[in-house]
Amino acid sequence: MSPKSHRSNKKTVHAYTVGFGFRPPYQILLDGDFCKTALEKHIFIKDELPVLMTGLTRLVVTDCILQDIKGRGHDYTSAYILAKRFETRRCPHKEKAVSSYECIRELVAKDNNQHFCVATQNPKLKDRMRKIPGVPLIYVNVKGNGLSLEAMTERSKEMMRLNEIEKIKPLDKETARLKRALYASEDEKEHQEVKPKPKKRKVKGVNPLAMKKKKKKAPPPPKKKADGSKEKADSSSSSSKKEKTDANKEKTADNNKS
């Protein structure tokens, strides 16, 4: 495989991984025509498919596919022996086996929810798989003598784009919830009283009154002279009273002697 083909395959596998959720090991659903052609071209598909898909692979068939290969006669004997080595998956055709085309078509269904990669050489099955979005198609390149991974179809690209839009777009319930929350917040804003913000007091300069020096208290005024004369009068009256008391005491003593 050339480096250019390897880069192209890696890009295609990455697109299926991102757009449709494919993960290794990739499930490769093979039919009898693919097995027969690979043997004729000496391609060891068990070794080549992991290289093609740039990751681990799991090769699977169904009972219907095995019965279909076996019923094709001697030319498909080697293909039948090869297919029996792969993992056998259950299919919805337990009672009566159907052709490989019908079995693969029903397994893949409309959306390929089991993430099958289809490996076939059947032109009719190829056309059918191209109409279903998200189905990697593998075939044997007869001219190049190797395996090829077909580029993603336009239908798959369109579906991948729609899936990306759905991921980004909110769901209806989520949209309704967001609207209710938005309307509720608007009502709260209308009914909520807007409190005026307190004004911040600006820092002013130093108060000039606080810078003044404190005045010293004046001394008390001297007492008036009238107060002095009053004191003298009080002292003279008290002395006269004392003299009278002493005179009375002497007089009483003289009377007692006589």
Helix (H, G, I), strand (E, B) or coil at 132: coil
Residue 115 has pLDDT above 90, yes or no: yes
DSSP assignment of 155-206 equals: HHHHHHHHHHHHHHSPPHHHHHHHHHHHHHHHHHHHHS--PPPPPPPPP---
Give the helix/strand (H/E) hosting 60.
Answer: strand 57-62
pLDDT by residue (tens digit) across 221-246?
Answer: 766 554 545 555 555 556 565 666 66
Q: Are 84 and 66 a contacting pair, CB within 8 Å?
A: yes
pLDDT of residue 4: 86
Q: Which position has the higher pLDDT, 15 or 206?
A: 15
pLDDT by residue (tens digit) across 169-179?
Answer: 666 676 667 66
| Whole-angstrom distance, CA of residue 67 vs CA of residue 51 | 29
Residue 251 has pLDDT above 70, yes or no: no
Q: Which position has the higher pLDDT, 196 or 108?
A: 108
**What integer best gives the mean pLDDT of the chain?**
82
Query: Could you give the domains of the chain?
Result: 3-165 (3.40.50.1010)
Smallest CA-to-CA distance from 118 within 75, 160, 72, 153 is with 153
pLDDT of residue 190: 54
What is the average pLDDT across 14-20?
93
What is the average pLDDT across 48-74?
95
> Please, which residues bridge with residue 28 across strands?
59, 117
Confidence of residue 217 (pLDDT cuts 50, 70, 90): low
Residue 73 has pLDDT above 70, yes or no: yes
Q: Which position has the higher pLDDT, 132 or 195?
A: 132
Q: What angle do CA 144, 147, 152 make, to 5 degrees?
A: 110
What is the average pLDDT across 70-91?
94
pLDDT of residue 147: 95
Q: What angle do CA 32, 33, 34 make, to 5 degrees?
A: 90
Residue 247 has pLDDT above 70, yes or no: no
pLDDT of residue 72: 94
Confidence of residue 94 (pLDDT cuts 50, 70, 90): confident
pLDDT of residue 179: 60
